[in-house]
Amino acid sequence: MGKSILVTGGAGFIGQHLCRKLLISGHDVRILDSLQPQIHGSKPKLSDFTCEGRVEFIQGDVRDRAALERAVTEVDMVVHLAAETGTGQSMYQIAQYFSVNVQGTALLLDVLQNESCARDIQSIVMASSRAIYGEGAYRCAMHGLVYPEQRTVERLSSGRFEPVCPACGDPLELLPTPESAPFKPMSIYGLTKQVQEQAILMYARNRRINGFGLRYQNVYGPGQSLKNPYTGILAVFSNLARQNLPIEIYEDGQESRDFVYIDDVVEATLRCIDFSGNYIGALNVGSGKATTVMQVAEKIRAFFRSDSSIAVSGAYRAGDIRHNIADMSLTNEVLEFVPGEPFEKGLHHFLRWVCAQNHEDGANYIRSVEELQAKGLMGNQQVGA
């Protein structure tokens, strides 16, 4: 039977895809979203988010109690996606990130716990992030499984970008990171995601309802914001390549990410919503594969037959991690979910969609980099290092 589902942040990239699938599966969908101009521009069209009026749309902020009370009234489940999402931006908009991600979540739980308008919620699913792991899991030949500390400015500025063993300083072998890894966020964004996840899972345990902290890796696909310069390197590189502007690669270009296609993310999220057993905990949602930033830039440039130069600058940003790959074993076991879309194919779908979108000029991106520089949150590899 169809459920009544509130999706906070449902007008965003993941939310829009999810809401469409929820409707197809026969659920009633309500969105609470403030339509942040950084993501949606200054004149968003409501019809883009309401699926021809089949979605109930509440424009409001997750920090507004009255809006939340309206949003949770008589829903069976909550999918909490609304958040500030830029790793670099979080390092200087600290109060804003805590306010939206932590206080917004606290208020949501307060309303669910205390207000009679919130009928018994059966399940809560939240968008956590790989950012809560920081550098993630590695193997040291001497010390076995280790979780490296934040890379020091001394190492980064001398071009030694790979994390080292926290016990002996030796080089490490990268491993997929499992959910049992310790929390070691290296950005304010990651820290707020950790708190969000812990608060929501604590609530679920106390209420004895299902709770899923979905640790999304780098999600990409058609519909992701091309306007937001603070997040999504595929969108950033595409904007630059389409205009033949130079693509600057940080560090040495060998840093890598686990890129997971939007359809896989939606599928994993739907499996939580439709889950018939009992589960409270975190689950990785990734592809289980690493792709380097250099590979991404080269593939995007080739697709657009662009004249963009690709320059490895040696610059580095506070809050960035070196690599990540999700260990998908627990998610496979709990949700019987195996990610299906290989990066090559998913990237092709994304880039074909980009071709049909308006050009975004490079000004926002340049401004976002200048902001980081002005705040002292970018460094450069020393010449000759």
Ligand X SMILES: NC(=O)c1ccc[n+]([C@@H]2O[C@H](COP(=O)([O-])OP(=O)(O)OC[C@H]3O[C@@H](n4cnc5c(N)ncnc54)[C@H](O)[C@@H]3O)[C@@H](O)[C@H]2O)c1
Catalytic residue set: 189
CB of 271 to ligand X, least distance (A): 16
Distance CA(5)–CA(24), nearest Å, equals 13
Nearer to ligand X, 87 or 381 (CB): 87
Within 44-73, which residues bind ligand X (CB under 6 A)? 61-63
Give me the residue label for tokens 């592809």. 287
Angle, CA of 176, 228 and 131, to the nearest 5°: 25
CB of 290 to ligand X, least distance (A): 15
Distance CA(36)–CA(309), nearest Å, equals 32
- Any alpha helices (H) in the chain, and if so which ranges? 13-24, 37-40, 47-50, 65-72, 87-90, 94-97, 104-114, 153-157, 188-207, 233-242, 262-273, 293-303, 329-335, 343-355, 363-374
Number of residues that bind ligand X (CB under 6 A): 27
Residue 353 CB partners (closer than 8 Å, separation 6+): 221, 222, 223
Q: Is 216 in the site for ligand X (CB under 6 A)?
A: yes
CA neighbours closer than 13 Å in the CB half-sphere of residue 19: 29
Q: Which stretch binds ligand X (CB under 6 A): 13-21, 89-97, 303-311, 375-383?
A: 13-21
Give the number of other CB atoms < 10 A from CB of residue 378.
19
Q: Which stretch binds ligand X (CB under 6 A): 81-89, 115-123, 168-176, 205-213?
A: 81-89
CB of 262 to ligand X, least distance (A): 9
CB of 260 to ligand X, least distance (A): 8
Beta bridge partners of 206: none
Q: Is 290 in the site for ligand X (CB under 6 A)?
A: no
Q: Is 225 in the site for ligand X (CB under 6 A)?
A: yes
Q: Is 222 in the site for ligand X (CB under 6 A)?
A: no
Q: Is 325 in the site for ligand X (CB under 6 A)?
A: no
Within 142-161, which residues bind ligand X (CB under 6 A)? none
Q: Is 81 in the site for ligand X (CB under 6 A)?
A: yes
Which candidate, 91, 85, 33, 337, places its Cα nearest to that of 224? 85
Q: Is 100 in the site for ligand X (CB under 6 A)?
A: yes
Q: Is 82 in the site for ligand X (CB under 6 A)?
A: yes
- Applying CB under 6 A, among 129, 287, 324, 331 the residue interacting with ligand X is 129
CA neighbours closer than 13 Å in the CB half-sphere of residue 111: 23
CB of 13 to ligand X, least distance (A): 4
Q: Identify the burial level of 330 via C-beta atoms within 10 angstroms of its C-beta, where 0-12 means exposed, 13-18 middle and 19 or more buried.
A: middle
Q: Is 104 in the site for ligand X (CB under 6 A)?
A: yes
Distances (CA, A) of 32 to 58, 59, 71: 5, 6, 6
**Binding string, 23-42, against ligand X, x = CB under 6 A?**
----------xxxx--x---
CB of 153 to ligand X, least distance (A): 26
- Applying CB under 6 A, among 5, 7, 9, 30 the residue interacting with ligand X is 9
Within 234-273, which residues bind ligand X (CB under 6 A)? none
Q: Is 127 in the site for ligand X (CB under 6 A)?
A: yes
Give me the residue label for tokens 């018994």. 120
User: SS3 letters for 196-220?
Assistant: HHHHHHHHHHHHCCEEEEEEECEEE
Max Cα distance, the chain (Å): 65
Q: Is 93 in the site for ligand X (CB under 6 A)?
A: no
Closest residue to ligand X, Cβ-based?
A: 12
Q: Is 197 in the site for ligand X (CB under 6 A)?
A: no
Footprint on this chain of ligand X (rule: CB under 6 A): 9, 11-15, 33-36, 39, 61-63, 81-85, 100, 104, 127, 129, 216, 218-219, 225
